[in-house]
């Protein structure tokens, strides 16, 4: 078992070093996530239990340029470092914060999870559903065991991580989808966090060679403005125009059940336009009716339709050896 991400302070408290909150926790207390605890002598990290365990299509993460059409063993625990009022998965993410969030846990070890992936012949394991940084040390254990068995690893995170957590997980992570929820720090303060740590996480994962895709949930009255969309698109482009941007429609849930209940198609198209203006090569839209979603991969050079998708299912894949068969352009991603 690897050391936990925390430091004992001279006054008897502990400083958690998993997420960017860097909580100082008193004995018998917990961090803002409600899950990482300090009993006065030992730091307790959530592990060996899941709230969800399922085999998903890779496209559901969403990852469109990492092993397209393959399956991934997905697991989640409980808790989150942010408190988004529009959370689409609040029943597990807000356990420890909201008494209405009541997830059922079941015991499972890292070894059992990796063995399940081997038995089912699944090529990857994903830490997802809730915020995996909450249990960064256990995530690292699972990812290391997976790599030992030739299984690839996926991190689906809000990115509000500490440098220590990123340093721990990046070398063990093959692909990541990071939620970039707002383009301003003011937006992130409304969620209980800050923007810069998320940008730093994305940049560092990209620097270390982790295959990276970014998702933004467009929420009416929160981030459906050119200010947010332009800032997000230009940041992604500053790292690489080959990073796919998933623009997802919101549906009212949790603490934001008010009108409008869904993101308008106009707002989605406005975000797409910002991505186009920033020069992003791969822009996808989701949480829309299939006939309104843009889920296909096009060659950014000649426009050929390379991968066709419908409801997370591949309908066709024309990419050959990572290239467009028509013009020979290299298509960014991990395809084998």
Task: Tell me what pLDDT residue 295 has.
Answer: 96
Query: Once rounded to an integer, what is the mean pLDDT over residues 279-295?
Result: 91
Domain-by-domain residue ranges, the chain?
A: 6-44, 49-295
What is the phi/psi pair of residue 281, to 5°?
A: -85, -25
Task: Tell me what pLDDT residue 96 has.
Answer: 87
Query: Is pLDDT above 80 for 291?
Result: no
Helix 136-148 to helix 110-119 angle, to the nearest 10 degrees?
40
How does 5-29 read in b/e, with b if 16+ C-beta sit within 10 Å?
bbeeeeeebbbbbbbbbbbebeeee
153-196 per-position pLDDT tens digit? 999 999 999 999 999 999 999 999 999 999 999 999 999 999 99
Q: Which two tokens stand for residue 15?
A: 């400083």
How far out from the chain centre does Cα 132 lie?
Answer: 9
Percentage of the chain lying above the pLDDT 70 cut: 99
Query: Is pLDDT above 90 for 257?
Result: no
Task: Tell me what pLDDT residue 245 has.
Answer: 98
Task: Tell me what pLDDT residue 36 has.
Answer: 97
Task: Tell me what pLDDT residue 1 has.
Answer: 62
Query: Is pLDDT above 90 for 222?
Result: yes
Task: Tell me what pLDDT residue 33 has.
Answer: 95
Query: Is pLDDT above 90 for 63?
Result: yes
Query: Once rounded to an integer, what is the mean pLDDT over residues 233-248?
Result: 98
Where is average pLDDT lowest: 61-65, 81-85, 248-252? 248-252
Third-level CATH fold of 49-295: TIM Barrel (3.20.20)
Q: Specify whether the CB–CB gap between 64 and 49 falls below 8 A.
A: no
Query: Once rounded to an integer, what is the mean pLDDT over residues 65-92?
Result: 96
DSSP character string of 271-322: HHHHHHHHT-S-EEEESS-TTT----EE-TTT--EEEEEETTEEEEE--BTT
Query: Is pLDDT above 70 for 57?
Result: yes
Task: Tell me what pLDDT residue 311 has.
Answer: 87
Query: Is pLDDT above 90 for 3?
Result: no
Query: Is pLDDT above 90 for 303?
Result: yes
Return the percent helix, strand and coil in the chain, to nearest 5: 25, 25, 50
Task: Tell me what pLDDT residue 149 has.
Answer: 98
């Amino acid at each position: 078992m690897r050391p936990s991400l925390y430091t004992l302070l001279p006054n008897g408290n502990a400083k958690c070093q998993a997420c960017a909150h860097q909580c100082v926790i008193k004995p018998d207390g917990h961090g803002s996530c409600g899950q990482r605890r300090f009993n006065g002598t030992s730091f307790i990290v959530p592990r060996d239990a899941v709230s969800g365990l399922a085999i998903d299509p890779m496209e559901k993460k969403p990852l469109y340029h990492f092993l397209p059409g393959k399956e991934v063993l997905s697991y989640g625990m409980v808790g989150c470092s942010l408190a988004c009022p529009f959370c689409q998965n609040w029943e597990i993410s807000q356990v420890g914060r909201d008494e209405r969030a009541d997830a059922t846990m079941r015991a499972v070890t890292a070894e059992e999870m990796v063995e399940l992936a081997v038995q089912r012949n699944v090529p990857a394991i994903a830490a997802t559903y809730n915020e995996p940084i909450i249990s960064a040390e256990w995530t690292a254990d699972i990812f290391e065991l997976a790599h030992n068995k030739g299984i690839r690893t996926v991190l689906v995170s809000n990115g509000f991580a500490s440098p220590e957590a990123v340093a721990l997980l990046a070398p063990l992570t093959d692909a990541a989808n990071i939620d970039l929820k707002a383009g301003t720090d003011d937006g992130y303060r409304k969620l209980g966090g800050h923007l810069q740590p998320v940008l730093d996480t994305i940049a560092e994962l990209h620097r270390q060679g982790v295959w990276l895709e970014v998702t933004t949930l467009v929420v009416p009255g929160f981030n459906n403005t050119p200010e947010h969309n332009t800032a997000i698109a230009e940041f992604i482009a500053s790292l690489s125009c080959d990073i796919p941007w998933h623009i997802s429609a919101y549906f009212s849930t949790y603490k934001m059940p008010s009108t409008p209940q869904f993101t308008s198609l106009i707002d989605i198209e406005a975000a797409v336009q910002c991505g186009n203006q920033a020069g992003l090569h791969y822009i996808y839209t989701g949480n829309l009716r299939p006939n309104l979603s843009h889920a296909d991969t096009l060659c950014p050079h000649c426009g050929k339709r390379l991968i066709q998708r419908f409801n997370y299912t591949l309908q066709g894949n024309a990419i050959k050896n990572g290239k467009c068969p028509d013009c020979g352009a290299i298509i960014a991603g991990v395809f084998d």
